[in-house]
């Protein structure tokens, strides 16, 4: 073991340019959202960031091709990626947690019900006061189609609920008819999105298997299919958002339902975009012949990310759509 | 690989060396410490007497907000990251941090983040004026425009923390020298590993909280607005889910430092090494499930009040384990009282005191009285200043000779200690009385009955500020013309890999993994305090 030499990279100008880009982007983004500001500074930062990222990844790939990346360093990359994914999980946890809290507790309290039956089902004074004094007329409901604001202020309300929501269409019918109404699920986009994303998790896995076996063509084919599926998913999501805004009256502003719906699916969509981008880069690298059956970290990292995005979607599908 | 540091400014700008980056973190944190300290001086000057004298209430609240944010995120956290950078690779026999370029990135984000944050003070409408806990709707509906700069500053400093902690995790998990098993790692490394885990887990939640704010402010969502079906209390839950682990992020590395220093100056191995590790892990776990003890007065169901009360009290158990272990380590030791040891003994006493006030606060019924009074302010300054800041100071005195090969002036160090110790207690002890008597926090003015103790507290605060100038002077003097130290083992009782490498530590500590020998601790060998069976390491450091 003591024969082994440690690898330490030379100093590098990339990180500080990256930090500068982040600083400019942060400042520019704040400037942009404030009335009277504009997005120019942000775009400058973004341009700088794009250049830095391109250079940085090229450098890492270059080092890898030159065999400078020791097994130990490679393992550090693996750990880095896995813990990064864990941090992403926690980011989503914050939004899922918010949804849970609002649905289970807040909604009941504003509606004058005690809280959850789990603890206590008799309304407390505080809960009834919440309803009697602050939001009279609001009834506990999910999805929130009529906001507390509407319950009190009617058409004057600032926060108006949507006309239609995204939940499973079957809920509109009594349980006895569910079976006969199954066909209503056919045009339901989230179902198709689930099918697409789930299959893409399989195709990326097949690509991985093929790569391990050194079967380059199969690898490229499955990876290509995965990227296309990711792209399809995004198209359908755009269609869904269009539908929501134009036909359902469901927007980011339509009360807590619109808020949680768009924030959760939106952040997920952003991550799908990122994941598709990562896989696309791996596809290009694959076409250039960068991978061998024992050296494939870049691809593996992207595929872990893809599986993570997929799992988040399953959570969304259950919580936001089926039981939405 | 370059053998020494690069020449000129690019050494610092482009560096991938863990020691350089550690130094950058430490100096940055000290600069922020003085900045936050300046804000504190404004606060205490205004509170010197009742009535509004120096600053308007609008500015006063910006000062308390900035003071908290700068001290927590700019001073304490980066100080310990700096120590981690310097010490972890040396302690585990690693050549450097696992991901050196990302390490540089993590640091250089901070100056940008804090430049943005502090610049808000000069913006139209003023800086953040909603307290360091930035509760909605104060920070959303009623916030000045500059809140948007605050939000994005928090975003990038969060990114910095996440990258920094991923780096630490990867280093500890992947870069230990052969034979350095987990249960042989020095406690400082252990506490940092667990802290890094906490950071990766909760920084994203903080990012979520500020993102929700951003959306509510600018894009019409209603997370924190009951009119749309949301709830301002939701903010508090999300914030404290981050916030309570955050206080342990601040204190766990401090525990680690104290667990290194007390054995050295007691000339005894640390008592109960493995119980220290398990206690740290237990504290970290519990810190995720107690957050709403900050919200006893907000109107929670009684079941919630009870649960969070008992869960919080539970934390006192592993914390107690640690305190008893430190005391037992000192028991019948051949103790000498050098400056780092003095700070650590003060840490044990004052931190325990702060733990007890925490226990008082955790009683939900009693907290209805204490909440948002100066009692809470006193509580958290006992744990954060006498806890984290004292241990950070101890760490600097302890390792400074190893870093720069020069010894600090012991007399001046002791002088600083006594000044800091006395001034600290003059400042914060009276705040307990003020709080119990009902003085609310975050106001620029107060009733006449609070006048005497406030004046005492302000005097103490100025003295405490003075002690920091002495600290700065002592450190700079040491680096410039301190007495040169040659021995690898600077302190007689010190144990650990870092004391086997030459003093000052070479720019690249290890070019090859150090050789591990199992057996009794001897001359050139080293055993980890308290680890059984004793395992010794023979380092083969090669400078350059
Ligand atoms: C035995 C351990 C501890 C217990 C039982 C405890 C308990 C509490 C409780 C119940 C509060 C809320 C008081 C209120 O707002 O009414 C509180 C506040 C606080 N604690 Fe602790 N604490 C402990 C240790 C610590 C440690 C180690 C730190 C940090 C190093 C810390 C930092 C804080 C801070 C910063 C606040 C105030 C936050 C704010 O409202 O600005 N505590 N503590
Ligand atoms: Cu807490």
For residue A189, the tally of other CB atoms under 10 A from its CB is 14
CA dist B471 and B282 (Å) reads: 35
Contact (CB, 8 A) for B504 and B405: yes
Tens of each residue's pLDDT in chain B, 544 residues: 446 788 888 999 999 999 999 999 999 999 999 999 999 999 999 999 999 999 999 999 999 999 999 999 999 999 999 999 999 999 998 889 999 999 999 999 999 999 999 999 999 999 999 999 999 999 999 999 999 999 999 999 999 999 999 999 999 999 998 888 898 899 999 999 999 999 999 999 999 999 999 999 999 999 999 999 999 999 999 999 999 999 999 999 999 999 999 999 999 999 999 999 999 999 999 999 999 999 999 988 888 899 999 999 999 999 999 999 999 999 999 999 999 999 999 999 999 999 999 999 999 999 999 999 999 999 999 999 999 999 999 999 999 999 999 999 999 999 999 999 999 999 999 999 999 999 999 999 999 999 999 999 999 999 999 999 999 999 999 999 999 999 989 999 998 889 988 889 989 888 777 765 543 344 344 444 333 334 445 444 443 3
Q: Which ligand has its closest atom nearest to the C-alpha of B367?
A: 1
Q: Which residue from B158, B164, B308, B140 is spatially nearest to B230, judged by alpha carbons?
A: B140
Interface touch A15/B101, C-beta < 8 Å: yes
* Buried/exposed B139-158: b ≥16 CB within 10 Å, e otherwise: bbeebbbbbbbbbbbbbbbb
Torsion of CA B186, B188, B191, B196, to 10 degrees: -110
Set of chain B residues whose Cβ sits within 8 Å of the Cβ of A80: 98-99, 102, 166-167, 170
Catalytic, out of B64, B106, B139, B161 = B161
E strand or H helix that includes residue B536: strand B535-538
Distance CA B203, CA B184 (A): 29
Q: Is residue A23 part of a domain?
A: yes
Spell out the residues 6+ positions from residue B317 whose beta carbon is closer than 8 angstroms to its own. Answer: B282
Domain contains A34: yes
The answer to ipTM > 0.90 is: yes
Min Cα distance B42 → chain A (Å) is 27
| Interface contact flag, A115 B151, Cβ < 8 Å | no
Which three-class secondary structure state does DSSP give residue B167? helix
Nearest to A98 among B234, B301, B303 (CB): B234
Residues framing ligand 1 (Cβ under 6 A)? B 133, 247, 250-251, 293-294, 312, 315-316, 319, 355, 358-359, 361-362, 367, 370-371, 376, 379-380, 383-384, 387-388
Q: Taking the complete model, does pTM exceed 0.90, yes or no? A: yes
Q: Is A67 exposed, middle or buried (0-12, 13-18, 19+ CB in 10 A)?
A: exposed
Contact B343, B417 (CB under 8 A): yes
Identify whether the C-beta of residue B322 lies closer than 8 Å to the C-beta of residue B255.
Answer: yes
Atom number, ligand 1, closest to the C-alpha of residue B132: 41
Q: For residue A169, count CB atoms less than 10 angstroms from its CB and return exposed for 0-12, middle for 13-18, buried for 19 or more.
A: middle
DSSP B179: T
Give the burial string for A75-94 (b: 16+ CB within 10 Å, else e): bbbbbbbebbebbbbbbbbb
Specify the ligand 1 atom closest to the Cα of B250.
30
By the CB criterion, residues less than 5 angstroms from ion ligand 2 are B 244
The range of the structural domain enclosing residue A30 comes to 13-68
Neighbours of B461 (CB within 10 A): 23
Instruction: Encode pLDDT of A37-82 as tens digits.
Output: 899 999 999 999 999 999 999 998 888 888 888 888 899 999 999 9
Residue A35 lies in a domain: yes
pLDDT of residue B510: 81
Q: How many domains does chain A have?
A: 1
3-state secondary structure chain A: CCCCCCCCCCCCCHHHHHHHHHHHHHHHHHHHHCCCCCCHHHHHHHHHHHHHHHHHHHHHHHHHHCCCCCHHHHHHHHHHHHHHHHHHHHHHHHHHHHHHHHHHHHHHHHCCCCCCCCCCCCCCHHHHHHHHHHCCCCCCCCCCCCCHHHHHHHHHCCCCCCCCCCCCHHHHCCHHHCCCCHHHHCCCHHHHHHHHHHHHHHHHHHHHHHHHCCCHHHHHHHHHHHHHHHHHHHHHHHHHHHHHHHHHCCCCCCHHHHHHHHHHHHHHHHHHHHHHHHHHHHHHHHHCCCCCCCCCHHHHHHHHHHHHHHHHHHHHHHHHHHCC
Q: Number of C-alpha atoms within 13 angstroms, CB side, residue B334?
A: 5
Examine residue A189 and state whether it is found in any structural domain, yes or no.
no
Q: Which CATH number is A60's domain given? A: 1.10.287.70
Which of B340, B431, B454, B433 lies closest to B391 in space, CA to CA? B340
Q: Is B146 a catalytic residue?
A: no
Contacts within 8 Å (CB) and 24+ apart, A217-224: A219/A286, A219/A291, A220/A283, A220/A286, A220/A287, A223/A279, A223/A282, A223/A283, A223/A286, A223/A299, A224/A283
Which pLDDT value is given to residue B47? Answer: 98
- Among protein residues, the one whose CA lies closest to atom 42 of ligand 1: B380
Q: What does the alpha-carbon distance between residue A86 and residue B156 come to, in Å, rounded to a whole number?
A: 18
Which of B160, B352, B393, B427 is labelled catalytic?
B160
Task: Name the token pair of B320.
Answer: 């107690």
Q: Is B367 among the residues known to form the active site?
A: no
Beta carbons of B116 and A5 less than 8 Å apart: no
In-domain check, residue A46: yes
Closest by Cα among B414, B297, B460, B443 to B367: B297
Residue A266 is encoded by which pair of tokens?
Answer: 């939106």
DSSP, residue by residue, B61-74 = HHHHHHHHHIIIII
Choose the closest CB to A120 out of B15, B231, B301: B301
With beta carbons under 8 A apart, name residues in chain A contacting B116. Answer: 23, 26-27, 30
CATH of domain B10-535: 1.20.210.10
Q: Are B511 and B481 in contact, with CB atoms under 8 Å apart?
A: no
> Which chain A residues touch B212 with a CB distance below 8 Å?
98, 263
A288 compared with B471, residue with greater pLDDT: B471
CA distance A290 to chain B (A): 22
B409 noted as active-site residue? no
Q: Which residues contact A229 (CB under 8 A, 6 or more apart)?
A: A196, A197, A199, A200, A203
pLDDT at A185: 84
The pLDDT of residue B511: 72
What is the Cα–Cα distance from A281 to A283, expressed in whole angstroms? 5
Cα distance between residue B9 and residue B17, in whole Å: 14
- CB atoms inside a 10 Å sphere around CB B488: 17
Contacting residues of B for A76, CB less than 8 Å apart: 98-99, 170-171, 174-175
Instruction: Annotate B199-227 with DSSP letters as a single string.
Output: HHHHHHHHHHHHHHHHHHHHS---TT-GG
Question: How far, in Å, is the centroid of ligand 2 from the Cα of B206?
Answer: 15
Nearest to B159 by CA among A274, A87, A276: A87
Q: Are B88 and B495 in contact (CB under 8 A)?
A: no
Which pLDDT does position A119 carry in this prediction? 55
Instruction: Enter the DSSP assignment of B448.
Output: G
- In angstroms, the CA A1 to CA B178 distance is 8
Burial class (CB in 10 A: 0-12, 13-18, 19+), A186: exposed
B160 catalytic per annotation: yes
Q: Give the closest residue (by CA) to ligand 1 atom 34.
A: B380
Q: What is the pLDDT of residue B544?
A: 32
Chain B residues with CB-CB distance to A144 below 8 A: 229
Task: Give the pair of three-digit tokens for residue B12.
Answer: 């610092």
Q: Helix, strand, or coil here: B441?
A: coil
B248 classed as catalytic = yes
Nearest to A124 by CA among B305, B310, B236, B311: B305
Q: Is residue A57 part of a domain?
A: yes
Dihedral sign (CA B251, B255, B257, B258): positive
Our answer to whether residue B216 is catalytic in this structure is no
Residue A244 located in a structural domain: no
**Whether residue B381 lies in the annotated active site:** no
Q: Residue B535: phi, psi to the nearest 5?
A: -125, 125
Is the distance from CB of B85 to CB of B21 less than 8 angstroms? yes
CA atoms in the 13 A half-sphere facing the CB of B345 = 15
Catalytic residue among B18, B19, B44, B67: B67
**Cα nearest neighbour of A259 on chain B:** B221
Cα of B384 from ligand 1 centre, angstroms: 10
Contact call for residues B109 and B159 (beta carbons, < 8 A):
yes
Q: Please, what is the Cα angle at A113 between A108 and A116, to 5 degrees?
A: 65
pLDDT of residue B521: 40
Give domain status of residue A90, yes or no: no
Q: Do B204 and A87 touch (CB under 8 A)?
A: yes
Distance from CA of A49 to the nearest CA of B (A): 13
Phi and psi torsions of B484, nearest 5°: -65, 140
- HSE-CB at A194 with a 13 A cutoff on CA atoms is 14
Nearest to A11 among B16, B156, B175 (CB): B16
Grade residue A293 by pLDDT with cuts at 50, 70 and 90: low
Other residues' Cβ atoms within 10 Å of the Cβ of residue B497: 24
Distance B350 CA to ligand 1 centre (A): 14
Asked about B182 being catalytic, the answer comes back as: no
Distance B279 CA to ligand 1 centre (A): 18
Q: What is the pLDDT of residue A11?
A: 87
Tell me the domain boundaries of chain B: 10-535
**Which site among A52, A58, A83 would you substitute to test the B interface, given the most B Cβ atoms closer than 10 Å to its Cβ?**
A83
Average pLDDT of span A95-121? 82
Mutation test residue for ligand 1: of B380, B384, B435, the one with most atoms within 8 Å of CB: B380
Q: Is B18 a catalytic residue?
A: no
To the nearest whole Å, the CA of B145 is away from the closest chain A CA by: 7
């Amino acid at each position: 073991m003591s024969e082994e030499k440690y690898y330490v990279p030379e100093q590098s100008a990339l990180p500080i340019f990256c930090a500068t880009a982040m600083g400019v982007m942060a400042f520019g983004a704040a400037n942009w959202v404030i009335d009277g500001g504009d997005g120019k500074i942000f775009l400058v930062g973004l341009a700088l960031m794009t250049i830095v990222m391109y250079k940085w990844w090229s450098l890492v790939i270059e080092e890898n091709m030159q065999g400078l990346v020791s097994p130990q360093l490679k393992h550090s990359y693996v750990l880095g990626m896995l813990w990064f994914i864990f941090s992403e999980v926690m980011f989503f946890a914050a939004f899922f947690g918010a949804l849970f809290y609002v649905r289970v507790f807040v909604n009941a309290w504003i509606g004058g019900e005690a809280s959850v039956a789990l603890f206590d089902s008799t309304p407390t004074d505080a809960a009834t006061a919440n309803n009697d004094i602050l939001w009279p007329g609001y009834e506990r409901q999910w999805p929130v189609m009529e906001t507390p604001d509407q319950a009190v202020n009617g058409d004057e309300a600032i926060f108006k609920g949507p006309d239609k929501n995204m939940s499973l269409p079957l809920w509109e019918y009594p349980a006895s008819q569910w079976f006969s109404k199954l066909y209503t699920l056919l045009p339901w986009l989230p179902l198709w999105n689930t099918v697409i994303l789930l299959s893409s998790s399989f195709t990326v896995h097949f690509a991985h298997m093929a790569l391990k076996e050194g079967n380059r063509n199969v690898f490229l084919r499955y990876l290509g299919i995965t990227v296309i599926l990711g792209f399809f998913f995004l198209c359908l999501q755009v269609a869904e958002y269009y539908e929501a805004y134009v036909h359902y009256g469901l927007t980011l502003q339509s009360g807590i339902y619109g808020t949680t719906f768009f924030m959760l699916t939106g952040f997920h969509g952003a991550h799908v975009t990122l994941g598709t981008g990562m896989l696309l880069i791996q596809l290009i690298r694959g076409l250039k012949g960068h991978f061998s059956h024992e050296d494939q970290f870049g691809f593996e990292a992207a595929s872990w990310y893809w599986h993570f995005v997929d799992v988040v979607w399953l959570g969304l599908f259950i919580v936001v759509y089926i039981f939405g | 690989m370059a053998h020494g540091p690069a020449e000129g400014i690019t050494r610092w700008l482009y560096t991938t060396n863990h020691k350089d980056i550690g130094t950058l973190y430490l100096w940055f944190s000290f600069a922020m410490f003085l900045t936050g300290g300046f804000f504190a001086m404004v606060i205490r000057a205004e509170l010197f007497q009742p009535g509004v004298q120096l600053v308007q209430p609008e500015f006063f609240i910006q000062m308390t907000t900035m003071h908290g944010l700068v001290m927590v995120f700019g001073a304490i956290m980066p100080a310990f990251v700096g120590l981690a950078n310097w010490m972890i690779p040396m302690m585990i026999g690693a050549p450097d941090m696992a991901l050196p370029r990302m390490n540089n990135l993590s640091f250089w984000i901070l100056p940008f983040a804090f430049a943005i944050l502090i610049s808000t003070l000069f913006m139209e409408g003023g800086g953040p004026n909603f307290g360091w806990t930035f509760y909605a709707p104060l920070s959303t509906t009623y916030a000045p425009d500059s809140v948007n700069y605050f939000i994005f500053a928090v975003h990038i400093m969060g990114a910095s923390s996440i990258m920094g902690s991923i780096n630490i995790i990867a280093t500890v998990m992947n870069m230990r020298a052969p034979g350095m098993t987990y249960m042989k790692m020095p406690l400082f490394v252990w506490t940092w590993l667990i802290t890094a885990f906490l950071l990766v887990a909760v920084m994203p939640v903080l990012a979520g909280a500020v993102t929700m704010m951003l959306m509510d402010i600018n894009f019409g969502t209603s997370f924190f607005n009951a009119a749309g079906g949301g709830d301002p209390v939701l903010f508090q839950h999300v914030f404290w889910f981050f916030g309570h682990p955050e206080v342990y992020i601040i204190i766990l590395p401090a525990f680690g430092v104290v667990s290194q220093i007390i054995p050295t100056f007691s000339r005894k191995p640390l008592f109960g090494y493995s119980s220290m590790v398990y206690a740290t892990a237990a504290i970290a776990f519990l810190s995720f499930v107690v957050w709403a003890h900050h919200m006893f007065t907000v109107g929670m169901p009684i079941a919630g009040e009870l649960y969070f009360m008992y869960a919080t009290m539970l934390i006192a158990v592993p914390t107690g384990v640690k305190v008893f272990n430190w005391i037992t380590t000192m028991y019948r030791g051949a103790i000498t009282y050098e400056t780092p040891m003095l700070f650590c003994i003060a840490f044990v006493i004052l931190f325990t005191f702060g733990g007890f006030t925490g226990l008082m606060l955790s009683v939900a019924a009693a907290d209805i009285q204490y909440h948002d009074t100066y009692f809470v302010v006193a509580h958290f300054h006992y744990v954060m200043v006498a806890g984290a800041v004292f241990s950070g100071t101890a760490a600097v005195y302890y390792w400074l000779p190893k870093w720069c090969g020069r010894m600090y002036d012991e007399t001046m160090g002791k002088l600083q200690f006594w000044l800091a110790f006395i001034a600290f207690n003059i400042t914060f002890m009276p705040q307990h009385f003020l709080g119990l008597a009902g003085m609310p926090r975050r106001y620029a003015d107060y009733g006449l009955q609070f006048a005497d103790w406030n004046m005492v507290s302000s005097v103490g605060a100025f003295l405490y500020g003075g002690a920091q100038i002495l600290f700065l002077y002592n450190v700079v003097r040491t680096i410039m013309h301190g007495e040169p130290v040659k021995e690898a083992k600077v302190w007689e009782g010190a144990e650990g890999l870092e004391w086997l490498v030459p003093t000052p530590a070479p720019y690249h500590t290890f070019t090859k993994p150090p050789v591990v020998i199992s057996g009794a601790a001897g001359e050139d060998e080293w055993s980890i305090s308290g680890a059984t069976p004793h395992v010794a390491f023979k380092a083969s450091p090669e400078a350059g």
